[in-house]
Amino acid sequence: MARSRKPGTAYRSPEWRERIAAGLRRSNAHRRDVLAVLPGDLVLWSRRGTLRPDLCQLVELHGAEMGVIGDALGGLEKLSPQRQALLRDFCRLGVATSLVAGRMLSRPDGNEAGELASRLATLSTARARVLGMLGLDERHDELDLPAYLAKQKANGGVPGAPTTDAPNGAHEEISIA
């Protein structure tokens, strides 16, 4: 029984070429978007060939993470220069953290492991502080009033009481905008 193919899947057909070209355009556009938000020094190093190809992928990965965080803050173009600098530092720290973690995993021997673990903890703490400076250390959930009241009724009607779905009996913080 002959297997039927979808249109545009015949190898080297005009439809196949167009489909592949469209995918490459999307990929290149994504890469341009990521490079647009990366710190300048990392972009310069990756373009000059100073970085190995696997490190360039790591830089792009953390650049994409930086873009997501920028979008969560309302868009990179709306951020103040100070916040943009903090985001770039966050990206650099992410690259450094990943490099130290990779080295620690590839060389888990004796004396060097303790030093690498210390560096990793320091870098992770620095990243967490940058997120705090950006205002992303808090968690805000948007609730509609009927859902909130139903939740409170289920907890005995005490506002801010520990909920069944809160971790470790944490209390809810209520803010009304």
Q: Answer whether 0.75 is exceeded by the pTM.
A: no
Range of the domain at 163: 143-177
In terms of domains, do 133 and 156 share one? no
In terms of domains, do 114 and 177 share one? no
**Eight-class DSSP state of 10:** S
In terms of domains, do 92 and 157 share one? no
Mean of the per-residue pLDDT values of the chain: 77
In terms of domains, do 48 and 134 share one? yes
**Quick check: is 6 in a domain?**
no
Q: Which ranges of the chain have pLDDT less than 70?
A: 1-8, 30-31, 33-37, 108-111, 138-143, 157-177
In terms of domains, do 29 and 45 share one? yes
**Quick check: is 44 in a domain?**
yes
**pLDDT given at position 139:** 61
3-class state of residue 166 by DSSP: coil
**Quick check: is 100 in a domain?**
yes
Number of structural domains found in the chain: 2
Instruction: Report the 10 Å Cβ neighbour count for 94.
Output: 21
In terms of domains, do 47 and 121 share one? yes
What angle, 0 to 180 degrees and rounded to 10, lies between the N-to-C axes of helices 53-72 and 14-37? 70
Residues 6 or more apart whose Cβ sits within 8 Å of residue 38: 59, 60, 63, 66, 88, 91
In terms of domains, do 38 and 90 share one? yes
Residue 84, Cα to own-chain centre: how many angstroms?
A: 15
In terms of domains, do 123 and 154 share one? no
In terms of domains, do 155 and 174 share one? yes
**Quick check: is 4 in a domain?**
no
What does R_g of the chain's alpha carbons equal in angstroms? 24
In terms of domains, do 90 and 169 share one? no
Tell me the pLDDT tens digit for each residue of 63-87: 888 888 888 888 878 888 898 889 9
In terms of domains, do 119 and 147 share one? no
